Amino acid sequence: MTTTLEQTKRDEPLSERYERIKDRAAEAAIRSGRRPEDVIVVAVTKHAEPDQIRELIRLGHIDFGENRVQQLLQRAAMIDEWLGRHQAMPSARIPAGETLFSERPRGGEPAGSMPDRVRWHMIGHLQRNKVRKVLEVSRLIHSVDSLRLAEEIQQFVVKRDVEADVLVQVNVAGEEQKYGCAVPAAMHLAEQLDTMINVRVRGLMAIAPFTEDPEQTRPIFARARELFEEIRDSGLGEGAFNILSMGMSGDFEVAIEEGANIVRVGSSIFGEREPGDEGAEG
């Protein structure tokens, strides 16, 4: 069997891959006139082994993303249980939103030490009948793309008297068969979310079409950023409309250069998926 570049990368220790991604994200942040801590790398665990997730937490990582509900629930439960065994105090989940873009959600410990809590991000397509379960574990839903879904979220948070932070997913490239609301509909959906009690609309999420050359995604990300600024400057969200989630393994540096402050990186951290491991969305 020939050894491909990807296989070689897979053999590289996780800690080194992780540090390299963090360095690349930090450099892109600086290139775009921001500080490294202004950009959050969400580690997307859909093809990660449980051991890899635990290792990343030991390295001090806090933000994790899943695109499938069932796996999100399983992994959040597994990690909660594991964190609970590794600390004197039982793990309490980080409250929604508040701590995104503030300093680390705890005080005192040196960067890189093990957090006592993690944040789960729901990044995949969400069906209305799964909203309740997702909101039990996730702090930020990146994938709200319809009013009906938004209303389902609202119903649940009002009943429970909890808050939910959401992003509007926009299909900026206008790709067929992709989730996300159309560009002209995004402002209206954001405005409707903004009127909902206990729902905080925090920003936009976009996915660029896959290309071999990340430069080709630049206009897509630039368009997403324009739309983000347009909505933000319309004054909704009371200053909390401040998250632009875009960029994945293949294009996260370009996304940061174009203004992303959350990137969602899976395979570049955890390795390529195993052949035949085809995760369905939903």
Ligand X SMILES: *Cc1c(COP(=O)(O)O)cnc(C)c1O
At 124, list the tokens: 């995949």
Question: Within positions 105 to 124, which residues make up the interface with ligand X, using CB under 6 A?
Answer: 123-124
At 26, list the tokens: 């930090």
Is residue 191 within 8 Å of 236, Cβ to Cβ? yes
Q: List Cβ neighbours of 75 (8 Å cut-off, separation of 6 or more).
A: 45, 50, 53, 64, 66, 120
Amino acid (one-letter) located at 11? D
Torsion over CA: 204, 136, 95, 59 (sign): negative
CB atoms within 10 A of CB 181: 19
Question: Within positions 185 to 224, which residues make up the interface with ligand X, using CB under 6 A?
Answer: 207
Does residue number 232 form part of the binding site for ligand X (CB under 6 A)? Answer: no
- 122 vs 240 by CB, closer to ligand X: 122
Rounded to a whole number of angstroms, the minimum distance from the CB of residue 207 to ligand X is: 6
DSSP string, 28-46: HHHHTT--GGGSEEEEE-T
Q: How many of the chain's residues bind ligand X (CB under 6 A)?
A: 14
Does residue number 267 form part of the binding site for ligand X (CB under 6 A)? Answer: yes
- 166 vs 236 by CB, closer to ligand X: 166
Query: Which region, judged by CB under 6 A, interacts with ligand X, from 81-89, 111-119, 216-224, 259-267?
Result: 259-267
Does residue number 44 form part of the binding site for ligand X (CB under 6 A)? Answer: yes
Does residue number 181 form part of the binding site for ligand X (CB under 6 A)? Answer: no
- 125 vs 223 by CB, closer to ligand X: 125
Question: Among 146, 155, 192, 249, which residue interacts with ligand X (rule: CB under 6 A)?
Answer: 249
Rounded to a whole number of angstroms, the minimum distance from the CB of residue 248 to ligand X is: 4
CA distance 236 to 233: 8
Q: What is the contact surface with ligand X in residues (CB under 6 A)?
A: 44, 46, 67, 123-124, 207, 248-250, 264-268
